[in-house]
Each structure stands twice: as structure tokens, then as C-alpha cells.
Amino acid sequence: MLNELNEQKVVPQSTVLERISALIHRESKTRFSGGSLGHLWAFITPIFWISLVTFTFELIGRQSPIFVDPMLFVATGYLPYAMMRQTITSQSRTLIANRYLKYITPTSISEISLASALLELFNSFFTSVIIFGGILFLFGAPAPFDLTKVILGMFLAWGVGASFGTLVGVIGSASDTFARVVPIVLRPLFWISGVFYTSNEIPTGMVDLLSYNPLFHAIEITREGFFFDYYAKISDYLYPLMCILIFLILTNIIGNMIEKNKLFRHRI
């Protein structure tokens, strides 16, 4: 027995980077298990929705509120939204799907969450680059005015999704009702985040209300970076950062409480 314990002690432990890399690889294999077709869905879904909203613009005779091609305008709203929404979905599911790893390997909840979030960041940015590049090429639109600001807006959308999604996943590990209700509550985000309109179009009173939505800020920051001489009423990068910090703090507090009181709804 002592010999077995000694042998276990000399087994080298993997580093944090190695574990995160392995988790990213595992998550990628699981998410895109359909092979090439699985990867294609990452492009098909946003292209479908961008095309649908653009077609609706044409159908009802709506002009783009910014003097750019309607498809490009819609893309600057939809892609940050999709990045945040997909990251929330990924984060809220991954903690439940990989819950057993912390028992059979020295893997923490933070590492599982970070691996899933990084994979989503890479996939979303890659998808956005391809779609934006395709639209710019097809319609001869000018390149982004301030690429750094475009990246900042997209990154903030991802950050809000990653931090809030992790919070949802942690609370969802203790409450099935909460896990089911959150996707329903998030559905109006498509309509209140400026995906197909700008903050400059809506009344001041409504602007004050919608300014509490961090995704709206991220989308408008993306547009300010993309379009020359566009300045939005809602584009404060500090507010999404504050929301991200609050979500992370709440995740830590609630996660520790659930762990301490063994409130998990899934048992090993």
C-alpha cells in the first residue's frame, strides 16, 4: 500500500496551461463532432440571420441609419450579439457537462470555464473576420475606420458573455429552474441591444433605459470603430468592464457558497 502511494506521488502533475489546452481540445472535438459540417454551422447561422434582417430592411423599405451597405450595418450589430449569446450558452453548459473532471483530474471550475471561453473567443473572432471580410469584398465597402476599436467592442461582447455565462453555469449547478429560465429571459436581448438600429435613433428616455444593457455599448463601440465619423450615444467601454467584474465577483461568491454547502443538483 505504501509503495502504491509513493508511486502516485512521483507522477508528474500537469501544468495549468497543459490542462487548459487539453480542455480546449476536448471541448472543440465535442462541439464540432459533426466534422466539416459541424464547423460550417458556425458560419451558416450568422449568415442566415444577417441575410434575413437585411432582407427585412429591403422588404419594409428601411434604410440603414448609417450611410453604409445595410448588410454591413446589420453584421456590426449581429456578430457582437452572437458572440455574447453563444458564449453565454457555452459557459452555462460546460460546467454541467464537465462536472466530473474536477473529481477524476486536478482540474478546477475556473480552468473548465476559461477553456470554454477561450475556445468561443477564437471561434467567434474567426467567424467574424470571415463574414466581415466577405461582406467588404462583395460590396466593395471600405475597411474598418479604427480596427482597434472594432476589436475592443467585440472583445467586450465576449467578456460580458463569458462572465455572465459562467455565473449562470455556477448558479445552474444548484438550480435547474434557474438554468431553464435564463435562456428565456435573454431572448429579448436581440431586440434591445441595437442589432438593427442605433442608439442615436431612439428617444432620450429610452436611451437612458437601454444604456443599462452592456451589450448595447459593445455593439455601438464596434460600429464607431467600423464606420468613419459615427459617434453613438451609448458607447462607454467602462460600463461593460464594470459588468464583467461584477459578474466575476458574484460567480466567486455564489460558487464558494454552493461548494461549501454542497448544493449541487447533479451528484457524482
Check pLDDT > 50 for residue 2.
no
pTM: 0.86
What are the tens digits of pLDDT across the range 92-119? 887 766 666 666 566 677 777 888 888 8
Indicate the range of 11-15, 109-113, 206-210 predicted with least confidence.
Answer: 11-15
Residue 258's pLDDT is 82
Check pLDDT > 60 for residue 14.
yes
Residue 30's pLDDT is 66
Q: Which residue has better confidence, 68 or 103?
A: 68
Residue 106's pLDDT is 65
Instruction: Grade residue 40 by pLDDT with cuts at 50, 70 and 90.
Output: confident
Residue 267's pLDDT is 54
Instruction: Grade residue 163 by pLDDT with cuts at 50, 70 and 90.
Output: very high
Check pLDDT > 60 for residue 12.
no
Q: Which residue has better confidence, 193 or 115?
A: 193
What are the tens digits of pLDDT across the range 221-233? 999 999 998 999 9
- Per the structure block, which three cell numbers stand in for 88? 453565454
Residue 1's pLDDT is 41
Check pLDDT > 90 for residue 172.
no
In sequence order, the 6+-apart residues with CB closer than 8 A to the CB of 265 are: 173, 174, 175, 176
Residue 214's pLDDT is 97
Residue 266's pLDDT is 57
In sequence order, the 6+-apart residues with CB closer than 8 A to the CB of 129 are: none
Across the range 111-135, mean pLDDT stands at 89
Across the range 78-91, mean pLDDT stands at 92
